[in-house]
Structure 1
Amino acid sequence: MSPPPQISFGWALVPLLLMMLAMGIGVIVLGVDAHLPLVLGTVIAGLVAWRHGFAWDDLEHMMYQGIRLALPAVLIIMLIGMVIGSWIGGGVVATMIYYGLNIISPAFFLAASCLLCAVVALAIGSSWSTMGTVGVACMGIGTALNVPLPMVAGAVVSGAYFGDKMSPLSDTTILASGLTHTDLFEHIRHMVYTTVPGLLIALGVYLYLGRSTGQNADLAEIAATQAGVAQAFTVSPWLLLVPVLLIVLVLRRMPAMPALVVSILVGLACQVVVQGESLTDALSTLQNGYVLESGNETLDNLFTRGGLQGMMYTVSLVLIAMTFGGILEYSGMLRAIVQRILSVARSTGSLIAAAISSAIVINVACAEQYVSLVVPARMYVRGFVERGLAPKNLSRSLEDGGTLTSVLVPWNTCGVFALGALGISAWEYAPYAVLNYVVPIIGILYGLTGSFITYLTDAEVEKYKREFAQDGQSVVL
């Protein structure tokens, strides 16, 4: 690429604001998918960059760079689609739903779903894998209990992101600590102050909601659902070993992709051996998803999903979003926006609020949580240290604002994945994903009040400055 021209703050806002306006009109008013507003945003961002001197080759390179950043997520999305298909076809999800209906009280279901997803995500370090497996089962149980599905999805998302955020196995947790020169476990301990209160508030809300949703449960309908599941699938407690195997593999430090491939193969074997279907049908499930035709509309809708093709809507939206985000970042438009925010952040509270808000804005603008961690980390880490703030304050702020809010943005890769896995859009579940929007508020309040903020000694400031000098770290991207 040629040397980047400077784009002003005002011009940098144009594609972002117009894309958000198009998204609001298109998705909310006209009811179209998010793809076209993102395409329009990409075109406008390209025109702004072109007006400031970028050539077509530069723009092409920016879009490819954005897509390249999303490729690991795309592979995970496709694998999760096949996991969902194979686990449904193999009777694993049916077994989890069948026994879950026996042990979960309707009044405590939302809180229990949140806690279950939190424990699983904490163990395996992946919110996506948790939503695509245990989360799918929770949606099925919620359907049988007559719990509004946006509530169920919100509880699943809250729990999954709590576990992901607090797990030393999580890629975002490792990334946030590494980018800010913070010890991993020190980073996790510092996040306890915002994340645990957020979880307790979320559980309180779910217990309150459960008082009314629990009254909607029809015991006869629950029994009929269990009977229908048992008729459509071979249900066995041995099938519960499949999700246990996934957890064990990840705990033994197997990378996510190989662990998911093993889970797919085990689910495929269960569909052939336990459910008695042909290998051809099982392979078709991996490609096209499982299709249940039991005559029970509720069960058919629940179990007809998954497969590689079932995730192509998600994949296409991710790729388009990342072309938009790629132009914003590599043209310098995103830098112009963040630098303006940085210039007005004078106090400790305003600096922390700026870091959290920047991560949220980048989640909206670039539609990718990794960008919402990387860019603010590079922009703010030196500023935090120079003002005597320990970098772990920044690493926590990045996770509070970046990791947690990504799934609340319908066109973000995380929000799109949740739609593909749970069947509920962020527009619907966001009000019930309590942890995900409470924690950023707690983080900002801590910054404004000075609570649970760690400061550096003069010697520590000099130590970090030497580290930044060795790494070539600067305030400017």
Structure 2
Amino acid sequence: MDEKKITKQYGAIAFLPLIIFLGLYIGSGLYFTHQGAEDAFSQFPRHVALLIGIGIALLMNRTMKLDEKIEVFSKNAGNSGVMLIGLIYLLAGGFQGAANVMGGVDSVVNFGLSFIPPALLIPGVFLMSSFIATSIGTSMGTIAAMAPIAIGVSAKADINVAIACAAVLGGAYFGDNLSIISDTTISATKGVGCEMKDKFKMNFFIALPAAIVAMIIYGMVGGIGQIEGDLSYSFIKIIPYIVVLVTAMMGFNVAGVLFIGIIMSGIIGLGTNSVTILEFVQAIGSGMEGMMSITVLAILVSGLIGLIKHYGGIEWLIEKITSKIKDRKGAEYGIGILAGLLSVSLVNNTIAIIISAPIAKEIGLKFKIAPKRIASLLDIFACALLSMCPHDGGMLIVTGLAGVSPIEVLQYAIYPIALIISTIITIQFGLLSTAEEKEYKKSLKAS
């Protein structure tokens, strides 16, 4: 079969199945949002929208037999990288469920809140949200845990509740962006082929200045308050989170690390009589079930992207993007904007990263951008832009609980703005470049 012929024949049209999927999912979500429906973006299941897109892809290219197209889809959907992503997703869900049922989340929250001084209430809320999100690997879970506390404290202390909401959101996305068990981190690192510890370091040095700036400003405008109530915690129940974070940072296999975290959570839970064996097993199952949807989605999207690539779509897109890009800076901006716009459109940073990662990887290869750099850009832009959307799930939670409008909260969206600025600075001045990237830049100057 003549691959060049296929590329020439399809080009941009190869993306029609993906456009149909996005159109159905986003369009229905916006429609039901306008109608005031609850869980608007769940009314038309994304898996069904994706299945329709896959069906369109299989109907394209009549020069290929259906069996051949299904073979291309299956090889890409079931490649080792995608299967590893799925395994890590499920283990991460199992660990979250196991650690939560034995009281780990409550202990993490109360441990952090116990050390927040009254004069630094809002910076403390940001820091606590960051700590929790990094530990448990989910911004939504962090927001659900911290928002009621932050809102209650701000009400008692007569502090602007919108600032408290913004601090919760900023901290949650900061931690989620760094966490090695976050689905966004898993998708970004495995999607472009880099180690989680390398991506963590890259992300950390970009995000840390933004976090420091955010906490300083929150300290200046946040006011003074006092956290009251029962803040009891058990440090032993925090240990599984610490072990998972430290061992993953040391370069241990993440799947193995998460499995150890699950076992440790069970031993501690049973040893402290916090959970029965049946409750422990059921919690693991519930956590894995919670990640099943995104696992299946990742598999199906990978298969669809494989067909699009086979039809010449990826090659066409890279040629179009790179024809407008004159240098490595432009390539990095292009990668970030691609992930950010998809995240805002899909209202889901994980799906945005899953879709954009293979495209970003190809662009990175052309411009010699290190995989850890690509993974960081994907995760940063997908998280930062989504966190400033009025229709983001986290925003809807905090504004619903606090009774304020998204516009009020967005006035204090200090962290995501600082993060974007920090990222732009690293791109513009070529900071945090690897040795290979520096050598590539020298070769360009020499030529």
Using the size of structure 2 for normalisation, the TM-score is 0.67
349, 366, 374: which one aligns with 1:398: 374
Aligned position for 1:333 = 313
Aligned position for 2:36 = none
Shift of 1:60: 1.9
Deviations, residues 133-154 of structure 1 (Å, cap 9, x unaligned): x985675244323277785244
* Alpha-carbon distance in structure 2 between the residues aligned to 1:264 and 1:63: 33
Matched, 1:80 2:92: yes
Cα gap change, 1:438/1:61 in structure 2, threshold over 3 Å: closer, same or farther?
A: farther
Shift of 1:277: 4.1
Aligned position for 2:73 = 63
Cα gap change, 1:456/1:154 in structure 2, threshold over 3 Å: closer, same or farther?
A: closer
Aligned position for 1:158 = 174
Shift of 1:48: 5.0
Aligned position for 2:290 = 310
Identity of aligned residues (%): 12
Aligned position for 1:357 = 337
Shift of 1:402: 1.7
Deviations, residues 393-450 of structure 1 (Å, cap 9, x unaligned): x65762453232345798xxxxxxx989xx99xxx9x979876676556555776x66
Aligned position for 1:243 = 241
- The amino acid that maps onto 1:116 is F
- The amino acid that maps onto 1:369 is I
6, 24, 27: which one aligns with 1:25: 27
Using the size of structure 1 for normalisation, the TM-score is 0.63
Deviations, residues 81-105 of structure 1 (Å, cap 9, x unaligned): 2212221222222222333332225
Secondary structure at 1:285's aligned position in 2?
Answer: helix
Deviations, residues 189-225 of structure 1 (Å, cap 9, x unaligned): 98788545444454456557845xx76x7x5xx41x5
Cα gap change, 1:87/1:446 in structure 2, threshold over 3 Å: closer, same or farther?
A: closer
**Contact 2:102/2:274 (CA < 8 Å) preserved in 1?**
no
Q: What is the RMSD computed on CA atoms of the aligned residues?
A: 4.9
- The amino acid that maps onto 2:292 is M
**Contact 2:339/2:352 (CA < 8 Å) preserved in 1?**
no
Shift of 1:274: 0.7
**Contact 2:336/2:378 (CA < 8 Å) preserved in 1?**
yes
**Contact 2:109/2:128 (CA < 8 Å) preserved in 1?**
no
The size of the alignment, in residue pairs, is 394
416, 437, 443: which one aligns with 1:461: 443
Aligned position for 1:108 = 123
Shift of 1:314: 3.4
- The amino acid that maps onto 1:79 is L
Aligned position for 1:303 = none
Cα gap change, 1:108/1:355 in structure 2, threshold over 3 Å: closer, same or farther?
A: closer
* Alpha-carbon distance in structure 2 between the residues aligned to 1:257 and 1:361: 30
- The amino acid that maps onto 1:338 is I
Cα gap change, 1:451/1:22 in structure 2, threshold over 3 Å: closer, same or farther?
A: same
**Contact 1:117/1:135 (CA < 8 Å) preserved in 2?**
no
Within-5 A mapping of 1:220-239: 222-223=228-229, 226=231, 235-239=233-237
* Alpha-carbon distance in structure 1 between the residues aligned to 2:132 and 2:215: 12
- The amino acid that maps onto 1:73 is I
**Contact 2:188/2:378 (CA < 8 Å) preserved in 1?**
no
Within-5 A mapping of 1:266-305: 266-275=264-273, 277-288=275-286
Secondary structure at 2:151's aligned position in 1?
Answer: coil
Cα gap change, 1:435/1:41 in structure 2, threshold over 3 Å: closer, same or farther?
A: farther
- The amino acid that maps onto 1:27 is G
**Contact 1:83/1:263 (CA < 8 Å) preserved in 2?**
yes
Shift of 1:340: 0.9
Answer with 359-368 or 74-83: which moved more. Answer: 359-368
Secondary structure at 2:273's aligned position in 1?
Answer: coil
Secondary structure at 1:308's aligned position in 2?
Answer: helix
- The amino acid that maps onto 1:157 is Y
* Alpha-carbon distance in structure 1 between the residues aligned to 2:324 and 2:202: 26
**Contact 2:178/2:203 (CA < 8 Å) preserved in 1?**
no
45, 56, 60: which one aligns with 1:47: 56
Cα gap change, 1:198/1:9 in structure 2, threshold over 3 Å: closer, same or farther?
A: farther
Cα gap change, 1:135/1:48 in structure 2, threshold over 3 Å: closer, same or farther?
A: closer
* Alpha-carbon distance in structure 2 between the residues aligned to 1:248 and 1:44: 41
Matched, 1:367 2:376: no
Secondary structure at 2:137's aligned position in 1?
Answer: helix
Within-5 A mapping of 1:90-239: 90-105=102-117, 106-113=121-128, 116=131, 130-132=136-138, 136=141, 139-146=144-151, 152-162=168-178, 194-203=206-215, 207=219, 210-211=222-223, 222-223=228-229, 226=231, 235-239=233-237
| Structure 2 spans left out of the alignment, 5+ residues | 33-39, 153-163, 387-391, 399-405
Secondary structure at 1:404's aligned position in 2?
Answer: helix
Deviations, residues 202-259 of structure 1 (Å, cap 9, x unaligned): 4456557845xx76x7x5xx41x54xxx6xxxx5333333333333433554311122
